[in-house]
């Protein structure tokens, strides 16, 4: 299954049925009055958030949804039956907008949330509604109303408490593998992560949080370089960003301070609101530095980075490959999250959330 996080669909609710024009005709009742029933309402289209779905792939190939039309009214005061409603199931975190006006119609931010997308048309009135003392044989009726019709854009933004940010090969996937049961692909070349990965980090009994790993950024990402900033939308619902920095790059021409500053610049250029989220520094690959030189390397990096960016937040030196330093990090994250406002109706209580392994 491919990971699809964007789609466009067309929804058309069912039209209402027409009212009937009929008259009562029975033996020994020669002047029976009007008895035309009303038409049935058209079927509406609803959407429901479902935590058991993790991709919009179903809406990439089936793009048109039309509600059932209401039945026409019949004689003998018989009303037409209403059309059946259509219920679409989409992943939690999906945002639905009108493709023509960009107005947000629904934000499926918790499991089982149900929203009306397109309302079915009302049924028309039969002629029995038009009889009066001066109009004993009305031949008027009304037609059913048309169902609402929209072109919609679907955009999935995964729900997670913590998001990982950094250059390709900074060790984001290695970290999420080390502290959760998620198993994203890890390799020694850039852009091994091609789609978001989620992992539940179990801190203690009944204490956990969800971490999201997205493809790495490079300088110029906001202008389309690398994989661009397409996947940054998956960090917009997070409450803490972890900025992973490779403190011991293999390339002698690499400058960790310059690279880290460039990532912050791309973040600000893409979305200042996202850049203003709490962002913590995680200095990774400590294992590649001789033990006696580690403190000096961390101190030198922090001094230069703070001077370049005015950063004054927390920092955590770690070695994700062997888990060194990760325990203080996850406990600090848990404590910080508990002090923040809790996420409404947790959709993150389910067992390990997963996303398909194949990229779109």
**Inter-axis angle of helices 256-270 and 294-309, to 10 degrees?**
40
Are 139 and 208 within one domain? no
162 and 243 Cβ atoms separated by less than 8 Å: no
CA distance 16 to 358: 43
Quick check: 83 pLDDT over 90?
A: yes
In sequence order, the 6+-apart residues with CB closer than 8 A to the CB of 342 are: none
In sequence order, the 6+-apart residues with CB closer than 8 A to the CB of 16 are: 39, 40, 41, 42, 69, 70, 120, 121, 122, 123, 124, 143, 144, 145, 146, 147
Closest CA to 282 of 308, 268, 263: 263
Q: Which two tokens stand for residue 314?
A: 């927390």
Are 90 and 239 within one domain? no
230 and 222 Cβ atoms separated by less than 8 Å: no
Are 142 and 188 within one domain? no
CATH number, position 53: 2.70.210.12
Are 74 and 138 within one domain? yes
- Secondary element (H or E) of residue 8: strand 6-12
Are 203 and 136 within one domain? no
CA distance 86 to 68: 8
**Domain end among 106, 133, 156:** 156
CA distance 64 to 46: 14
Are 146 and 95 within one domain? yes
Average pLDDT over residues 322-334: 91
pLDDT for res 86: 95
Is residue 346 domain-resident? no
What digits encode the pLDDT tens for the residues 139-192? 899 999 999 999 999 988 877 888 888 888 788 888 888 888 766 555 554 445
Is residue 351 domain-resident? no
User: In which band, very low, low, confident or very high, does the pLDDT at 360 lie, cut at 50, 70 and 90?
Assistant: very low
Are 273 and 187 within one domain? yes
Three-class SS state of 75 = coil
Query: For 89-98, 229-238, 326-335, which range has the lowest pLDDT when averaged over its residues?
Result: 229-238
| DSSP per position, 121-147 | PPPPPPGGGG--SS-SS-----PPPPP
Print the domain residue range for 328.
162-339
Is residue 124 domain-resident? yes
Are 130 and 260 within one domain? no
Q: In what order do the strands lie in the sheet with 6-12?
A: 64-66, 6-12, 149-156, 94-98, 104-107
> What's this model's pTM, rounded to 2 decimal places?
0.72
Are 132 and 192 within one domain? no
**Domain end among 137, 156, 175:** 156
Q: Which residue has the higher pLDDT, 259 or 113?
A: 113
CATH number, position 303: 3.40.50.300
Chain-centroid distance, C-alpha 343: 15
Are 43 and 185 within one domain? no
Are 133 and 236 within one domain? no
Is residue 102 domain-resident? yes
Is residue 347 domain-resident? no
Total domains in the fold of the chain: 2
């Amino acid at each position: 299954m491919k990971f699809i996080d964007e789609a466009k669909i067309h929804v058309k609710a069912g039209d209402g049925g027409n009212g009937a024009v009929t008259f009562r005709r029975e033996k020994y009742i020669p002047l029976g009055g009007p008895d035309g029933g009303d038409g049935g309402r058209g079927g509406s289209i609803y959407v429901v958030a479902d935590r058991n779905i993790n991709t919009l792939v179903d809406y990439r190939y089936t793009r048109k949804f039309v509600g059932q039309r209401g039945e026409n009214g019949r004689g003998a005061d018989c009303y037409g039956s209403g059309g059946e409603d259509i219920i679409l199931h989409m992943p939690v975190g999906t945002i639905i907008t009108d493709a023509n006006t960009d107005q947000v119609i629904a934000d499926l931010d918790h499991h089982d949330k149900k929203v009306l997308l397109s309302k079915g048309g009302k049924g028309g009135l039969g002629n029995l509604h038009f009889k009066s003392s001066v109009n004993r044989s009305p031949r008027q009726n009304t037609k059913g109303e048309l169902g609402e019709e929209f072109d919609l854009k679907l955009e999935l933004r995964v729900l997670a408490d913590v998001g990982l940010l950094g250059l390709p090969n900074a060790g984001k996937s290695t970290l999420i593998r080390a502290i959760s049961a998620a198993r994203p692909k890890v390799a020694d070349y850039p852009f091994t992560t091609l789609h978001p990965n989620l992992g539940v980090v179990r801190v203690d009994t009944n204490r956990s949080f969800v971490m999201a790993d997205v493809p790495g950024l490079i300088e110029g990402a906001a202008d389309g370089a690398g994989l661009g900033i397409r996947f940054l939308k998956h960090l917009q619902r997070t409450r803490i960003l972890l900025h992973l920095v490779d403190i011991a790059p293999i390339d002698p021409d690499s400058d960790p301070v310059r690279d880290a500053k460039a990532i912050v610049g791309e973040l600000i250029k893409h979305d200042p609101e996202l850049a203003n989220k709490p962002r913590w520094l995680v200095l990774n690959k400590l294992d590649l530095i001789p033990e006696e030189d580690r403190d000096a390397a961390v101190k030198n990096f922090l001094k230069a980075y703070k001077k370049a960016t005015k950063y004054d937040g927390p920092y955590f030196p770690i070695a994700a490959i062997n888990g060194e330093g990760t325990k203080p990090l996850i406990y600090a994250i848990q404590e910080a999250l508990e002090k923040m406002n809790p996420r409404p109706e947790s959709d993150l209580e389910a067992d390990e959330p997963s996303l398909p392994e194949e990229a779109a």
